Amino acid sequence: MLGWFKKKFESRPEEEQGPGGQTVAEPQAMVANGEAAESSDVDSAPPVAVVAEQLGQPSAPASEFAADNKEPEAGLKFFKRLKERLAKTHDSFVARVDELFLGKKVIDQELFDELEEILIMADLGVGVTREILDRSRAKVKRKELCEPLALKKAIKEQILAYLQQTDRPADLVMPRQGPFVIMVLGVNGVGKTTTIGKLAYKFRQAGQNVLLVAADTFRAAASEQLQIWGQRIGVEVFTRPAGADPSSVVFDGLEYANARNFDVIIVDTAGRLHTQVNLMEELKKIKRVMGKKIENAPHETMLVIDATTGQNGISQARLFNEGVELTGLALTKLDGTAKGGIVVNICHEFNIPIRFIGIGEQMEDLRDFNPQDFIDALFANDHE
């Protein structure tokens, strides 16, 4: 993902800093806010510097230096912040796993029982938990595993295999030409609009020209919410008055985009429960309309899932997938104590890659999902 952003970034340096001019004040205030909110985070300096640099010379392309420098630093910061944000998740989980493994010399039923508890508590679900444990149990029986630490490693690998088995690449794939259309959907209150804001920021940072289409015409003040995000980031937002037909908003939005030169179009849809047949039909229609206006659009149909969701996440993924065929997942609210284990389940069952994770309310709090890092962060400990 980062790599892709970079490639795009280098190939079109002259287009960097498009319509940023009028929104200069906003991002600055925003960054200041962000800093205040995490005053403990000493390392929050780099984004300020980067933004400040861009603000200083709004018309000049960001120098190679800046682009090259950003990569490793961002990477480091990413890992640090990810670890930090996941610390709470990690503490409770890992501390328990360690306690479990360090005190043990042999693998016994008690150990399996406790492992079951840990996996279920992470919302992996009874079925998957059973599957994972049964496999390990079989290995133990065949004497392939005989010490607790090896068992831990085996379980880790098993979860990783579930996360990696999807045959679709976890990177967003751009169409060869024309704008990249992303449709974002999910049940109510999972964080669709916030995720879109962060995603737009990510594209914006990579020098893309982004349009947000506010197709949530149902919930009160939904388009206002998106507009505020647009101002913060400095991207255009296409809106229609509340109560308009969402498909028509999308139609007009894409027409508007066609006449201009946008690289990325992100469509925000109203939150809906997957069991509501009429609303699912509406979603199908929105998708059809996109395809009529721009070839093969939407190129990405992304389901947003809340990390606190339990086994109902399976039902959500199933019904949304049946309705509009999902191509990616975003897992939000991972900065709490919920472990979001349901995505292991979803990945395993539906073969949909996880693209992003949300780890906070600031605009830089959206990360590429990296299964290895993710599991490492969950299991990482100082003794290793």
Partner 1 sequence: MFESLSGRLDSVFKKLRGHGKLTEENIQEAMREVRMALLEADVNFQVVKDFVATVTEKAVGLDVVGSLAPGQQVIKVVHDELVELLGGDTASLVLDGRQPVVIMMVGLQGSGKTTSSGKLAKMLQGKGRKPYLVPADVYRPAAIDQLTILGKSLGVPVHPSTTDQDPVAICKSALHAAKAAGHDTLLIDTAGRLHVDEDLMGELARINSALEPAEILFVADAMTGQDAVTVAEKFNQDLAISGVILTKMDGDARGGAALSIKKVTRRPIKFVGMGEGLDALEPFHPDRVASRILGMGDVLTLIEKAEAVVDKEKAAKLAKKLKKEGFTLEDFLDQIQQIKKMGSLEQIMGMIPGMNKIKQLKNMPKPDERELVKVESVINSMTLKERRNHAIINSSRRQRIAKGSGTSVQDVNKVIKSYTEMLKMMKKMRGQPGGLGAMVGGGKKRKRPKGLTR
Q: Which residues bind partner 1 (CB under 8 A)?
A: 88, 117, 120-123, 125-127, 187-191, 194, 197, 218-222, 224-225, 227-229, 232, 242, 273-278, 306-313, 315-316, 318, 333, 335-339, 342, 361
CB-nearer residue toward partner 1: 62 or 304: 304
Work out how close the CB of 289 gets to partner 1 at its nearest, in angstroms, rounded to a whole number.
21
CB-nearer residue toward partner 1: 74 or 242: 242
Nearest to 360, CA basis, from 160, 88, 120: 88
| DSSP code for 59 | S
Work out how close the CB of 89 gets to partner 1 at its nearest, in angstroms, rounded to a whole number.
10
Q: What is the CA radius of gyration of the chain?
A: 22
CB-nearer residue toward partner 1: 30 or 294: 30
CB-nearer residue toward partner 1: 249 or 294: 249
CB-nearer residue toward partner 1: 172 or 317: 317
Work out how close the CB of 44 gets to partner 1 at its nearest, in angstroms, rounded to a whole number.
16
Work out how close the CB of 271 gets to partner 1 at its nearest, in angstroms, rounded to a whole number.
9
| DSSP code for 147 | S
| DSSP code for 238 | E
CB-nearer residue toward partner 1: 52 or 126: 126
Q: Name beta bridge partners: 211.
A: 236, 265
What is the distance between the alpha carbons of residues 224 and 242, in angstroms, rounded to a whole number?
A: 10
Work out how close the CB of 118 gets to partner 1 at its nearest, in angstroms, rounded to a whole number.
9
What is the distance between the alpha carbons of residues 220 and 231, in angstroms, rounded to a whole number?
A: 19
Q: How many CB atoms lie within 10 A of CB 44?
A: 19
Nearest to 104, CA basis, from 88, 115, 117: 115
CA distances from 175 to 98, 182, 214, 218, 294 (A): 46, 11, 22, 31, 11
Work out how close the CB of 140 gets to partner 1 at its nearest, in angstroms, rounded to a whole number.
21
